[in-house]
Amino acid sequence: MFWRIYVLFMLISWPVYAQFEVNFTPSLSCEQKIADLIDEAKNSIDVAVFSINNDNIVKALKDAHRRGVKVRILTDKMSSGQKSSKTIDMYQAGLNIKVNSAHKLEHNKFAVFDGNKVVTGSYNWTNSATDKNSENCLFILEQNQVVIDYHNRFNELWQENKQEKSDEWMIKKIKESVKAD
């Protein structure tokens, strides 16, 4: 009898345990899982990340945009001004990007995929985070209240950061890069 109760408990509770996955760096695990979720997205990808220059993730985001997925990226102005940042490149490729204008730093590191999956953790979307840093990423792979909370927070952040300010900043940085060449 005990055995049957145990099996029943495991079958009922399995989805609870199966909805989370954690990965650590240095390794390709965070990068690859994020790229996979981007590739699997059908409707929307909302990203709030401090820094982004990871070549594979950037390529996956551009590919998602080209196949019609609604991609919104909110990132930090200071980190976007760094030489290694891919923010301007993605902006010029037509992705919907805002740089933070509402807070001192946009230090979040999370994304919501199709409103039903989330990645969060210390992992910046950078090559260094994959190859050199000790970081973590937690994947929430089923819609639940936590996913809804992240989606709502992204929408709040998106609303409080103004597109006009982001566009002005992007155009200024593009002109500066043209002058430097």
Give the CATH number, domain containing residue 117.
Answer: 3.30.870.10
Say what the alpha-carbon torsion angle 63, 66, 69, 74 is, to the nearest 10 degrees.
Answer: 70
Higher pLDDT, 58 or 5: 58
- The CA distance from 38 to 161, in Å, is 23
Phi, psi of 81 (to 5 degrees): -80, -5
User: Is 10 within a domain?
Assistant: no
pLDDT (mean) for 66-89: 95
Task: Give the Cα separation of 59 and 90 in Å (integer).
Answer: 9
Give the number of domains in the chain.
1
Q: What range does the domain containing 34 cover?
A: 19-175
Using an 8 Å Cβ cutoff, are 39 and 72 in contact? no
Q: What is the mean pLDDT of residues 135-144?
A: 94
**Residue 5 falls inside a structural domain:** no
- The contacts of residue 104 (CB under 8 Å, 6+ apart) are none
Residue 177 pLDDT more than 80? yes
47 residue type, one letter: V
pLDDT number for residue 5: 55
Write down the pLDDT at residue 48.
98
pLDDT at 76 over 90: yes
Backbone angles phi, psi at 168, to 5 degrees: -60, -45
- Tell me the C-alpha distance between 165 and 134, whole Å: 34
Paired tokens of 89: 């490149």
Among all residues, which ones are annotated catalytic?
A: 107, 109, 114
Contact 104, 5 (CB under 8 A): no
The reported pLDDT for the residue numbered 97 is 97
More confident residue, 180 or 94: 94
Does the residue 92 lie in any domain? yes
In a domain, 128, yes or no: yes
